[in-house]
Amino acid sequence: MDPREPADGESEKEKTDRQLIELLNEIRVALPGAQVLLGFLLTVPFATRFGKVDHTGHVALFVCLVLTAIGTILLMGPSVYHRLRWNKGGKRDVIQVAHVMFLVGTASLALGILAAMLLITDFLFGGTAAVVCVAVLGAGIVGVWYVLPLTRGRAAQVREEE
C-alpha cells in the first residue's frame, strides 16, 4: 500500500488533518530540547571560564550557536506558517512546507549538538577525545534519526507488497 494513499475508510481531508496533527506533535517533542540548548549556549560566553577558551573554541561556539538558532527557527517555523495560513486553505501545502522545515531544522540542530559537544569535550579533555566523541555521537544521530527510519520504511514496504 502506498503511504500517500488514504488508509481504509480515511478520506483525503481526514488524512491531511491527521498528518498535520502528527507533524505538529512531532515538533512539540523536538522544539523544547532545541530551545534549552539555545538558551544554554547564549549564556556560555558570560561564564567565567569561557575566557580560557582559545580562538578555535570561540569559533566552535559561534558555529554551534548559529546552527542551533537556525534549527530552533526552522522547528518553530511550521507553527508560524500554519498560523499565518489559517483559514486560507492549502493545508496540504502547510504539511509539505512544514515537513521540509522540520527535516532541515533537525539536521541543523544535529550539527549544533555536535558542535557543542566538540567545544565542551575539547575544553575538558582535549582535541582527540573531542573528535572521537563527535564521531561517535554523529554516527549515532545519523543512524537513529536517518538510517533507521529510512531502512525500516523500505523493509516494511517490501513486506506489505509481498
Per-residue pLDDT of 15-74, as tens digits, reads 877 887 887 777 777 777 778 877 877 777 667 777 777 888 888 888 999 999 999 999
CA 158 to CA 136: how far, in whole Å? 31
Report the alpha-carbon distance of residue 96 to residue 16 in Å, rounded: 10
Assess if residue 2 is contained within a domain: no
Pick from 12, 118, 129: which is nearest to 56 by CA? Answer: 118
Averaged pLDDT of the chain: 82
Residue 33 included in any domain: yes
Average pLDDT over residues 136-145: 96
Say what percent of the chain tops pLDDT 70.
87
Domain range holding 119?
12-161
Task: Specify if 5 maps to a domain.
Answer: no
- For residue 16, being part of any structural domain is answered with yes
| Number of domains observed in the structure of the chain | 1
Q: What is the pTM of this model?
A: 0.73
Under a CB-based contact definition with an 8 Å cutoff, are residues 134 and 112 in contact? no
- What is the pLDDT, as a whole number, of residue 1? 44
Structural domain contains residue 68: yes
| 1 inside domain | no
In a domain, 55, yes or no: yes
- Residue 4's SS3 state is coil
User: What pLDDT score does 134 carry?
Assistant: 96
Task: Note whether residue 6 is domain-resident.
Answer: no
Rounded to the nearest 5°, which phi and psi values hold at 2?
A: -75, 125
